[in-house]
Amino acid sequence: MFSKNPERNSAIIWLIISIGALVLGLVFAAFFLVGHFTFGRFFPVLLLPLLSIVGLVICIALYWSARKLDDVIWGKDLLARWNYRPEEIAPYAAEARKRRGKVKYVTLAACLFMLLISSLFAYDKSGIDYTAVIENALLLLIVVIFLYAILPAMGYGDSNATEFYLARNGTLFAGTFHVWRVFGARLEAVDFKEGPAMLEIAYSIQTENGLQRTNLRIPVPDGREKEAEDAARRLAGR
């Protein structure tokens, strides 16, 4: 992957999506709108610049998150750091991959819905605009290739799954960055449990769907129990 910071990797991916959507929109406009303009051909061309704007906004947000994670990785207010063996972290990394898989399916379903609407505009009084249908089919093919071939080849989501960092503002666990020192977020509970050793962290963050609570149960490797207990005490302010 690009770097050891998964948030920066995601920001780079969204920047690629933003630039790619803009370029693809211009290419589609040059090939499909020249000579015979129809709304069926214009609708996908309209969607691509909108996707480019959304991708740029997400890229900026992820870049900001990456700056926060850089502070964690490079030791600012660092409370604990260790590495897992692959078999220790596999169940937690599998859960993250499952969530990313759901995001892929939702993304694909949203694209299918938009392209279905676009295909409806390919019908008019003169019959079917096969050029508009081909345009939609090409766009769908590009989306599928990107989601299921290009993203895995880029190593998306598997960056540093075995590395663990805990700082006062957040934690990197199983390749996912959790941050609670931001506007609208609050660290609610921190505890250390023995037998088997487990670090439990609960935080809430305000989303567009309301307050979302996250409960992390972080396994502690053998020999790291004292470090984890001290980290929990310091993070809780005790």
Which pLDDT value is given to residue 158?
Answer: 65
Q: What percent of the chain has pLDDT over 70?
A: 96
Assigned domain for 173 exists: no
Claim to verify: residue 115 and residue 200 sit in the same structural domain: no
Max avg pLDDT among 22-26, 75-79, 84-88: 22-26
Claim to verify: residue 139 and residue 184 sit in the same structural domain: no
Claim to verify: residue 197 and residue 137 sit in the same structural domain: no
Which pLDDT value is given to residue 52?
Answer: 95
Claim to verify: residue 36 and residue 120 sit in the same structural domain: yes
Which pLDDT value is given to residue 159?
Answer: 61
Which pLDDT value is given to residue 171?
Answer: 94
* Omega within 30 of 0 (cis) for the link into 91: no
Total number of domains in the chain? 2
Claim to verify: residue 144 and residue 212 sit in the same structural domain: no
Assign 49 a pLDDT band (cuts: 50, 70, 90). very high
Which one is predicted more confidently, 79 or 97? Answer: 79
Claim to verify: residue 132 and residue 221 sit in the same structural domain: no
CA–CA separation, 159 vs 238, rounded Å? 33
Assigned domain for 164 exists: no
List, for residues 105-119, the tens digit of each pLDDT value.
Answer: 888 888 888 888 888
- Report the range of poorest mean pLDDT among 45-59, 79-93, 156-170: 156-170
Which pLDDT value is given to residue 82?
Answer: 93
Claim to verify: residue 145 and residue 202 sit in the same structural domain: no
Residue range(s) defining the domain that contains residue 137? 6-76+86-153
Which pLDDT value is given to residue 149?
Answer: 85
Assigned domain for 71 exists: yes
Assigned domain for 117 exists: yes
**Phi, psi at 129, each rounded to 5°:** -90, 95
Claim to verify: residue 125 and residue 90 sit in the same structural domain: yes
Domain end point (choices 153, 170, 203): 153
